Structure 1
Amino acid sequence: MIHAAWPAPDNVIALTTTRHAPAGTIGASEGAYADFNLAQHVNDKPLAVAANRAALFHQLQPQGLRRIQWLNQTHGTVVYRSRADVQALPDADAAITTDIGQALAVLTADCLPVLLCDRLGRQVAAVHAGWRGLCSGVVANAVAAFDRPAQQLMAWLGPAISPQHFEVGEEVLQAFESQFTGPDSAAIRAAFAPIAGHSGKYLADLYQLARLQLKSLGVDAIYGGEYCTVADDDLFYSYRRQPQCGRQASIILLRDN
């Protein structure tokens, strides 16, 4: 597992799984999903996914884990307020909680996972930000859901597709220019590098777009953003590299001090 490298309070646990089972466990998924797929919606064997999720739970239990909040992700902008005493699988692309032991998880395989916490370690959020959700405001909604000002928050950008591999069309640039809140048009355009010899094609930087919006909202403490799910096929699932694949999970958790 990859633990977030950020100066979060000691009671905040933040990490991303990889396509490999954590040390001391055995992944149950095979073939295109090998070996630690955590998604139920990708046609992997249900028993294999259940076994992987159980292994993840037991791996995190010593960190104070009591329950993992999974989401039915829709590439939307809904932020779900998760509570330890409520069992639900909401249609949402972000979750926020103040409950100790209540882990929040988002599944990705190229989309950008964003983990957020406040500097006092009292509230955490996890966000699934594909380009559609990011453009439409899922990260902004998650920041707004905190009880504390954005200036008191910090963010970690988990593994996602890098700008070297994220080719998009003119419609994506136009969507960000017309819908994306916070950054000015020049800053948005700078995150889209034209591809020489291919009119209307760009290499988009999801990491930079997220940073721009977070900073515009007042979140200056931003970390991560150094991985590429497409290029690093040994560590990560990537839908763009291989459409039939599993999903890694990015997880954030409040534990007792």
Structure 2
Amino acid sequence: MLVTRLFTEVLDKDECLIMKGCERFSNYEGYASTFVWSGNHCDKTKRDRWGRICTEVVAIDALVFNDFEKQFQKRMVERELSKAFAGFHTSESSTSEQIPAVCTGNWGCGAFGGDKRLKALIQLMAAAQAKRDVCYLTFDDTNLRDDLYKIHEYLTVTNPLGIGNILKLIEQYRANKIIFHVHKPKMNLFQYIVAVFDGTMESSDEEEDFGSMEMQQIDEVEASSVQEACVELDWGDVGDSVTPTTFKNNFSETDFKANTP
């Protein structure tokens, strides 16, 4: 993966990087400033007929948020949703049972300042649209693990909602002045989504009545490439379609870029 960086261009808003055959050589401990090498690693993953390790790693670059509230803005969520969909989408004609699950975690939630619950929900939506199962690693965060299980059950069984309606709820969450005061919210996104429907949410001028909301169906995507899929994807009733051109108009080249080596 380090070698790949030498000849890979900067990814555009609708692009991902797929690296096949990545082999692990080292064990490690810690993260960021505490990261240290802890010994050699013998990668026993099976190999294909070319001698390559049977792995496939997808790189999708998350936005950097120094302002916590900005990541809940509609255009920011749509950008991350399309980026995740680009990484999760597959053009294989095989059935969903034969396509491997996406193994992911708290994407962009460390030094990049992302909210764990928002990013988890974005990835679940992208995976659902791409018809991929998800293996979500919470890194021993039992609260996040339990919250993810409950919100997934709520949005798929208890109160099924389309992707377009979930996006509306995220934007409403950001705009609700009762919740968002100063920098951190009084309740997290998952708590808010449930509270809107169970009657425990205080009303505000910014709120929209979701009591009679009906589930919106998201058009099935049939595209021959990741780029085509991103352009044609219908997120639901959330305004104009999101395209790579829309992203270029909304973001400058330096907006929300990672300041890392």
Q: Which has the higher strand share?
A: 1
Global fold match (TM > 0.5): no
TM-score (norm 2): 0.29
Q: Which has the higher helix share?
A: 2
Q: Relative CO higher for 1 or 2, CA cutoff 8 Å, sep ≥ 6?
A: 1
TM-score (norm 1): 0.30
